[in-house]
Structure 1
Amino acid sequence: MPAPGVPVHCPGPVPDGVLDAFWRYDAALLANDRDVLDALFMPGPDTVRGDGRVLLVGHEAIAGFRSGRAVIPTRKVAELQVRVLAPDAVLIMARTADGAATGLQTQLWQHTADGWRVAAAHVSLPARSAPAPGAVPQAPVDPAVWRVAGIPLLPPLGSGPLDGIGVAVKDLIAVEGHPTGGGVPAYLAGQSARPASAPVVTALRRAGAHLTGIAQTDEFAYSIAGSNSHYGTAPNPAAPARLGGGSSSGPAAAVALGQAQVGLGTDTAGSIRVPAAYQGLVGFRPTHGAVPSDGVLPLAPSYDTVGWLTRDVATSAAVAAALLPARGGTPPGPARVLRLPLAERLAEPLTRDLFAGRVAAFEAAGTLPPSRQAALTAATLDEWFAAFRTVQAYEAWATHGSWIEAHPGSLGADVAARFAAAAAVTGEEAAAARATVAAAREQLREWLDGAILVLPTVPGPAPLRTAGPAEIDDVRGRTLRISCLSPIAGAPAISLPLTGHDAPVGLCLIGAPGTDLPLLSAAARLAAAPERTP
């Protein structure tokens, strides 16, 4: 079933069925028929698919990547070059066109008992013709990453430590001239353009940064998965078959893709640190309240904190220099390091071993002083976590409940269920939970006095994009039991990449409130240390 008018060039006869299979694949691609696409790729761990950004190995990884793809190709095949390598192996190169854009798709087809299947594929991303003189070039925009982007969207307002740095701003943070959408199209539709940017955005621009664009968020930031039922699932370049984490999903993906150097986001329960861990980035959550939250759409103000994602600690420190108040220079680092065995036991065995080995290597090299253990029982952590979630839910409903009731059906099922549960929290339950959180905060701050707490950022790699709701909810629960400690304490935390898995995880440092700069200094020392284990 070849497309009419598409020239097919082959030095000899083309084996029966292979072109029919190719055109079935092409039709399924343009229709986003994932079942047909999955069936036409060779099953097993040896199938490969690559493009200019990622290399996927194995049918499962390819299917997972495809399930989260938000941008569906609109190009058409303009020409085919076919080469028969063997009776059961055919190479097909397709020249594609989409307006002025041209691309190349290369596939190795193999004949199996079930017919022709793709064993290897590579896609060259479209090359667009140069803009006319005086025209403003347009950047390709993935709607799962960006709500709006520009070149730049807003220019710098001065010069400083962030000269030349592009910033992706989470769609909770006010950007002048644009409405704030909160990851919810129905909410966005009712908003007007903001007359002024949030102070944190203005501070970055005064330090030399420009805004690359407004990046997507999970709906109202009430998720750590990195998916949005309206805009799609943002990519995870470090592990394309896996979720990228959220709720600062767009800023994280923009930084990981190299489309921005800084992702400005928020972290209520882990929304910066979790995507940082899942994508091999540096994620910094400052002391609660250290960065002004004016002009930021809230979720749970007791915990909401403006923070940022970068690809290295040096860039994170440059952002801190622009946003955090100077405290008479950088004080010396903490004399003590604490570990929390309970948090480590929540991690999967490989993550636990990887974390323990890295900490042991740091101690052996003198990069970290010898650690001691902080005693915390599972029952106490469960009590703290339940109280944290109760306060978060109560405040989330107080923030968004009226709008949600007035706009039924505007949220995806997972976030809607979370808000429905939040609506049931009573004032008395919230007051009791606040008392528990206050006691937990006192204990955590006592531990952190003159010390840093070192623990895994997440229990393991991100769930696969094909994971079901039950698996994602289980990962969410184990992750939040670890990530809630920093917001309970109101303390700064930084997640550093921890590699050694087939996908990234993270090593997290938590410092006492107000020790943001020495915490960054400690992180810089660890990041510069050799990646080895004893």
Structure 2
Amino acid sequence: MTDVLGDPAPDGLLEAFWAYETALMGDDLAALDRLFAEGPDTLRGDAAGLLVGHEQISRFRGGRGGAPARSVLEVHVRSFSHAHALVIAITELERGGRGQQTQVWRRGADGWRVMAAHVAVPAPAFDSRVWRVVGDPLVRPTGSGPLDGETVAVKDLFAVAGQPVGAGNPAWLEQAPVEPTPAWAVRMLTGGGAAVRGITRTDEFAYSLAGTNAHHGTPPNPRAPGRISGGSSSGSASAVSLGHASIGLGTDTGGSIRVPAAYQGLYGLRTTHGAVPTAGVMPLAPSFDTVGWLTRDAGLLARVGDVLLPDVAPRPVREVVVVPELLALAEPDVAAAVEAFADRESAPRESWNLGELESWREAFRVHQAAQAWASHGAWLRTRLDVLGPDVRGRFEAAAAISPDEASVAAARVTAARQTIRELVGDRVIVLPSASSVAPLLGADPGQVRDATLRLTCLAGLGGLPAVSIPTATAEGLPCGVSLVAAPGRDRDLLAFAVAHAERLRP
């Protein structure tokens, strides 16, 4: 029998509390919605962050798949009045460990309802949504340099000596060989003084921008609780955002560094195509694949560049331009945040004719898909059922592309690359890193993906470097400002990001 301690409970309070507990264990979403107060002021918090408003809390519950099984050991009641009370429940999780739930209840005409709740459970020793394997560290530094004391979260596409490459798919991991040597980027980072903290989750074969891996779940987004992490460098981004590692090593084919950077308020760099060797990295679409990385501050982003990028002296960024037609491709809240950044930089407006953009995006999609099938079709042809629904759909579409369609798309990509490089010239172009803030968990990311690719494919088609600088909407949700420059100007973008961060310091 559960002990009830403290003040005498007002009439009906304990009945409402136990109804809530029953609904929670049964994942009865309708009952949980009824027992939480309606309106925009209801609160629910845990270690991942604070959710504000009944609607946001309801969406979170709908996307999490139920709460961990537990039993209630003690209930402590403190009554403030006949209509307000504090209830603290001490719980024991079925998987082990003690937890605590603190709730503020209010009685109205429709009975007792939760106004605010905070949930505390034992932190997992290993969050399998973020990590495939971790160590203390997994790989020690092999040298000393600008990254002394830093730790790296390595996307599960890079070879790490002594480990297989899992590519976000359990069936692939099961048959993957142990890698005898590290990928070039991993070797350079450890040689520069960094330790590898572990290997992080990715969307399957890196063929997504969402981070919602069907097998391992969605890594948390601590900067925007209840929203997706962004992918496909999802685990690396979340590891950095959570403070588990200081550097997130990833890849960017169609936005897989820039999108999670925007969604989680991080700095991120997609490098010039070919600037950083991809030796030891599982390919998706080699014509677009690039190495990239994420950090919480601009200075470290640049120091990683000192280790991985060609040793070319940076040139000053003399002209920063914003294109209204590109801003218009983003949601209004994100466009306003990016435009505010451009205004602070006194960036002039320059109109572009984007009449070919949709055909460019389609050429990017087809050319990427044809290469993805060339990279993985031989293995997947009889194993498509091992993929989650979204990635499977993309590979099925890729398998159906004819040689003629692939050839036409490749020619359009070549033409688009030339045009985009001419448009960018020697300037830096300001545009949104993603078309929106991170979508809510459980929402269909399909439309968001298409809208974001209209923005991110420009750097991909051009083979251009792009740095994502964190900013926020008026509502405080993280989003990203993407700065795109000519090939080889990676260090120029990094120097600009560092200078911008210094200007913001009080």
Same fold? TM cut 0.5: yes
User: For 1:158, what is the secondary structure of its paired residue?
Assistant: coil
Distance 1:200 1:521 in 2: 21
Give the 3 Å change call, closer, same or farther, for CA 160–125 of structure 1 in structure 2: farther
Residue in 2 aligned with 1:51?
46
Conserved? CA contact 2:263–2:480, under 8 Å: yes
Distance 1:35 1:265 in 2: 40
User: For 2:202, what is the secondary structure of its paired residue?
Assistant: coil
Give a deviation string over 1:4-63, Cα, whole Å, max 9, x none.
3x3221332x23443343334335445555454444322221111123441211122223
Give a deviation string over 1:336-387, Cα, whole Å, max 9, x none.
3333332111122232233222211211xxxxxx43525222x311121111
The answer to whether residue 342 in structure 2 is matched with residue 375 in structure 1 is no
Give the 3 Å change call, closer, same or farther, for CA 100–464 of structure 1 in structure 2: closer
How far residue 282 of structure 1 moved from its aligned partner, in angstroms, is: 0.7
Give a deviation string over 1:459-515, Cα, whole Å, max 9, x none.
221222242x3xx22211111011001111111100111223321111111111111
Distance 1:35 1:214 in 2: 39
Residue in 1 aligned with 2:496?
522
The answer to whether residue 493 in structure 2 is matched with residue 510 in structure 1 is no
Correspondence list, 1:280-299, <5 A: 280-299=265-284
Conserved? CA contact 2:75–2:87, under 8 Å: yes
Distance 2:440 2:3 in 1: 39
Conserved? CA contact 1:272–1:283, under 8 Å: yes
Distance 2:189 2:394 in 1: 33
Give the 3 Å change call, closer, same or farther, for CA 73–288 of structure 1 in structure 2: same
| 2:473 maps to which of 477, 491, 500 | 500
How far residue 226 of structure 1 moved from its aligned partner, in angstroms, is: 1.9
Residue in 1 aligned with 2:464?
491
Structure 1 residues 383-392 or 21-30, which shifts more? 21-30
Query: Given residue 518 of structure 1, which amino acid in structure 2 is its aligned partner?
Result: D
| 2:88 maps to which of 73, 87, 93 | 93
Conserved? CA contact 2:49–2:222, under 8 Å: yes
| 2:307 maps to which of 313, 317, 322 | 322
Distance 1:450 1:304 in 2: 23
The answer to whether residue 83 in structure 2 is matched with residue 81 in structure 1 is no
Residue in 2 aligned with 1:362?
345
Conserved? CA contact 1:344–1:352, under 8 Å: yes
Residue in 2 aligned with 1:424?
400
Correspondence list, 1:53-68, <5 A: 53-68=48-63
Residue in 1 aligned with 2:421?
445
Distance 2:164 2:327 in 1: 42
Distance 2:339 2:7 in 1: 59
Residue in 2 aligned with 1:351?
334
Query: Given residue 341 of structure 1, which amino acid in structure 2 is its aligned partner?
Result: P
Give the 3 Å change call, closer, same or farther, for CA 100–183 of structure 1 in structure 2: closer
| 1:107 maps to which of 103, 115, 118 | 103
Conserved? CA contact 1:340–1:376, under 8 Å: no
Query: Given residue 239 of structure 2, which amino acid in structure 1 is its aligned partner?
Result: A
Residue in 2 aligned with 1:131?
none
The answer to whether residue 470 in structure 2 is matched with residue 474 in structure 1 is no
Give the 3 Å change call, closer, same or farther, for CA 8–193 of structure 1 in structure 2: farther
Residue in 1 aligned with 2:3?
7
Query: Given residue 482 of structure 2, which amino acid in structure 1 is its aligned partner?
Result: C
Residue in 2 aligned with 1:404?
380
Query: Given residue 507 of structure 1, which amino acid in structure 2 is its aligned partner?
Result: V
Distance 1:31 1:167 in 2: 39
Aligned residues: 504
| 1:240 maps to which of 225, 245, 249 | 225
Distance 1:308 1:30 in 2: 40
Distance 2:157 2:146 in 1: 25
How far residue 187 of structure 1 moved from its aligned partner, in angstroms, is: 1.6
Distance 1:44 1:211 in 2: 45
How far residue 411 of structure 1 moved from its aligned partner, in angstroms, is: 1.3
Distance 1:196 1:68 in 2: 39
How far residue 262 of structure 1 moved from its aligned partner, in angstroms, is: 1.0
Give a deviation string over 1:257-292, Cα, whole Å, max 9, x none.
111111111111001101111111111001111112
Residue in 1 aligned with 2:147?
162
Conserved? CA contact 1:496–1:527, under 8 Å: no
Give a deviation string over 1:224-258, Cα, whole Å, max 9, x none.
11211111122211111322211111111111111
| 1:123 maps to which of 108, 119, 122 | 119
Conserved? CA contact 2:151–2:195, under 8 Å: yes
Query: Given residue 411 of structure 1, which amino acid in structure 2 is its aligned partner?
Result: L
Give the 3 Å change call, closer, same or farther, for CA 179–388 of structure 1 in structure 2: same
Correspondence list, 1:445-464, <5 A: 445-464=421-440
Give the 3 Å change call, closer, same or farther, for CA 229–437 of structure 1 in structure 2: same
How far residue 524 of structure 1 moved from its aligned partner, in angstroms, is: 1.7
Distance 2:33 2:211 in 1: 23
Residue in 2 aligned with 1:366?
none
Give the 3 Å change call, closer, same or farther, for CA 242–485 of structure 1 in structure 2: same
Give the 3 Å change call, closer, same or farther, for CA 52–243 of structure 1 in structure 2: closer
Conserved? CA contact 1:68–1:232, under 8 Å: no
TM-score, L = length of structure 1: 0.88
Structure 1 residues 483-492 or 183-192, which shifts more? 183-192
Query: Given residue 302 of structure 1, which amino acid in structure 2 is its aligned partner?
Result: S
Structure 1 residues 314-323 or 85-94, which shifts more? 85-94
Distance 1:482 1:264 in 2: 22
Distance 1:510 1:457 in 2: 10
User: For 2:37, what is the secondary structure of its paired residue?
Assistant: coil
Structure 1 residues 451-460 or 189-198, which shifts more? 189-198
User: For 2:245, what is the secondary structure of its paired residue?
Assistant: coil
Distance 1:482 1:253 in 2: 23
TM-score, L = length of structure 2: 0.93
RMSD over aligned Cα, in angstroms? Answer: 2.3
Distance 1:374 1:31 in 2: 55
The answer to whether residue 216 in structure 2 is matched with residue 231 in structure 1 is yes
- Stretches of structure 2 that go unaligned for 5 or more consecutive residues are none
Distance 2:57 2:467 in 1: 32
